Structure 1
Amino acid sequence: MPTNQQRREAAKRKLERQLARRAERAKKRRIMATALTVGGVVLVVGLIYLLVALNSGDSTDTASDTSTEPTPPPAETTTGPCKYSKDPAKPASKPVDAPPDADPTPNAGTAKVNVKTNQGDIPLTIDRAKAPCTAQAIEHLVKAKFYDGTTCHRLVNSASLKVLQCGDPTGQGSGGPGFEIKDELASLPKPADGQQAVPYPKGTLAMANAGPNTSGSQFFMVYGDSQLPPNYTVFGTIDAPGLATLDKIAAGGITPGQNGPEDGAPKNAVNIETATIS
């Protein structure tokens, strides 16, 4: 029968064996964890490399470069003296070609245009001598029936400005024919010293614009003496029966717009039924 000393030594050896086995198992777990970590890093690096390789290409291969947008086509101009500019970024609100840019540009005589509206006729006289390129473009638009079925979208009746504006097929003030006409301002007077505006007398027919050399199809008819900067091409006059129609339209009042009660759409809608050259 073992003595107490022998039992203690046997228990001690058993404990030492248990401790050794635990240490061995802990060592194996550390080795396995390290291996898994290294393997994961290698896998991630490999995937990143693969993705970079798939999404990169020869820098000279423009077909694979999707980071840039295509360059829009440049504006085109007609080859005649007027150089009408057609910008693909500003398409026509109603289908129409650019005007035939005759060489030389007709610069003498007049053309009679009758604008028939639901409020009455507005006869106009286009003066080619005042603005040859503008006159040529407006005559072209009339012959192409560009103005037929459009509205006069803006009426102004203030102390310094009395006009009816027409010529936008959208009726919003932002539409046009898809081409632009250079300004022709030689016939306008120079502002007096210290002044910025010049007279636009009653009966004046002039082009609206959105800045220098941006006239298109929109025009305004002055039914009362007005003052404006000398920035708007004058290309004709309004005949007496047309002024009577404009007075009737103005008397109907204005639906106030963003610029206040004196500037907005006519209360009595003005629809151009036809515009014809006599």
Structure 2
Amino acid sequence: MTSTRERQRAAARARLEKEMAERAAQARKRRQLQASIGAGAALLLVVAGAVWLVTSLGDDDKDQGTTPTAGAAVCSWIEAPAEQRSPQTKDVGLPPVEAKNTGSQVMTIDTNLGPIVAQLDLAAVPCTASSFTHLAEKKFFDNTKCHRLVTEGLQVLQCGDPSATGAGYRESDGTGGPAYRFAEENLPTDKRPAYPEGVIAMANSGQPGSTGSQFFIVYGDSELDPAYTVLGTITSGMDIVKQVGAAGHDNAFGQSAGGGHPKKEVLIKSLVMSAPQG
């Protein structure tokens, strides 16, 4: 017959064995958890490394893509988000990233009053010329009217608003353009006057990087801040622009903006850019 002391000893051994088993199980769980965490960290490092590698390679590709080829410049086109576009915006896509920056190009503006021709130096305005070539190919300017004439202080005829069309063009507020903007080029900071008679230049909002499609032809020396791209020089057709200037305007834009719609209407039937020469 088992004594009370022996039963107590057996019970104590059983409790001890149970505690030891529980501790061993807990130790195994800790080791498994640590192993899992280590494996997860290692996996994260592998994934992070792979992402870094792919990103680096992608960045290299981008850098290589923006490295200009010989005789070309890289242009940056800033596309307007859909919510920032207006009914006056005409989306015809973006010009190529690369633009030729050697030689010259001829712009021919065929109007209802006769042709106006300008010469462009591609070394000075590679991106602006590329934009005009793209827009001309899309017939962006065809059947639009020069919407603004200024005769006092400045002597300029402004065109290039795609919304200035038809009989209702006199309601145009001059805010139309493509769905992209780009940086100014060839600023005449060292010229006086900055915009002499015979210059064709780009209009903008007054903020850097706001050049679009609108341009103006200077038919009398004009002292503007040198903040507008000088696109080129008129080689023929200045007599047409001076006739329009002499006929005056309707003062639609008021004294604050200056000028108005030309009384002698100028319809751009087509605008064509020649192939680069040289």
TM bucket (normalised to shorter chain) is: 0.5 to 0.7
Query: What is the DSSP-based 3-state SS (H/G/I as helix, E as strand, rest coil) of the residue aligned with 1:140?
Result: helix
Write the mapping of 1:24-35 to structure 2, written as runs, cut at 5 A. none
Shift of 1:277: 2.4
1:246 and 1:223, CA in 2 relative to 1: closer, same or farther beyond 3 A?
Answer: same
User: TM-score w.r.t. structure 2 length?
Assistant: 0.64
Aligned length: 190
For residues 153-172 of structure 1, what are the alpha-carbon distances to aligned partners after superposition, in whole Å with 9 as ceiling and x for unaligned? Answer: 000111x3111000001122
1:255 and 1:116, CA in 2 relative to 1: closer, same or farther beyond 3 A?
Answer: same
Q: What residue in structure 2 maps to residue 250 of structure 1?
A: 245
Q: Are 1:149 and 1:272, in contact at CA under 8 Å, matched by a contact in 2?
A: yes
Alignment partner of 2:195 out of 186, 200, 212: 200
Write the mapping of 1:24-173 to structure 2, written as runs, cut at 5 A. 80=66, 81-88=74-81, 89-90=84-85, 93-102=89-98, 105-158=99-152, 160-171=153-164, 172=172, 173=174
Structure 2: state its 5+ residue gaps. 1-64, 67-73, 165-171
Q: Aligned AA for 1:234?
A: V
Q: What residue in structure 2 maps to residue 177 of structure 1?
A: 178
Q: Aligned AA for 1:83?
A: S
* Residues in 2 aligned to 1:273 and 1:120: alpha-carbon distance in whole angstroms: 10
Q: Are 2:109 and 2:268, in contact at CA under 8 Å, matched by a contact in 1?
A: yes
Shift of 1:258: 3.0
Q: Are 1:254 and 1:262, in contact at CA under 8 Å, matched by a contact in 2?
A: no
Shift of 1:257: 2.0
Q: Aligned AA for 1:216?
A: G
* Residues in 2 aligned to 1:147 and 1:230: alpha-carbon distance in whole angstroms: 25
Q: What residue in structure 2 maps to residue 4 of structure 1?
A: none
* Residues in 1 aligned to 2:244 and 2:114: alpha-carbon distance in whole angstroms: 9
CA RMSD of aligned residues (A): 2.1
Q: Are 2:132 and 2:273, in contact at CA under 8 Å, matched by a contact in 1?
A: no
Shift of 1:94: 2.7
* Residues in 1 aligned to 2:181 and 2:266: alpha-carbon distance in whole angstroms: 25
Shift of 1:190: 3.7
Structure 1: state its 5+ residue gaps. 1-78, 192-196
Shift of 1:174: 0.4
For residues 19-64 of structure 1, what are the alpha-carbon distances to aligned partners after superposition, in whole Å with 9 as ceiling and x for unaligned? Answer: xxxxxxxxxxxxxxxxxxxxxxxxxxxxxxxxxxxxxxxxxxxxxx
For residues 136-165 of structure 1, what are the alpha-carbon distances to aligned partners after superposition, in whole Å with 9 as ceiling and x for unaligned? Answer: 11121112211001110000111x311100
User: TM-score w.r.t. structure 1 length?
Assistant: 0.64
Q: Aligned AA for 1:188?
A: P
For residues 164-209 of structure 1, what are the alpha-carbon distances to aligned partners after superposition, in whole Å with 9 as ceiling and x for unaligned? Answer: 0000011221011100011114x51348xxxxx8521111111100
Q: What residue in structure 1 maps to residue 56 of structure 2?
A: none
Q: Aligned AA for 2:101?
A: N
Segments of 4+ in structure 1 off by > 4 A?
none
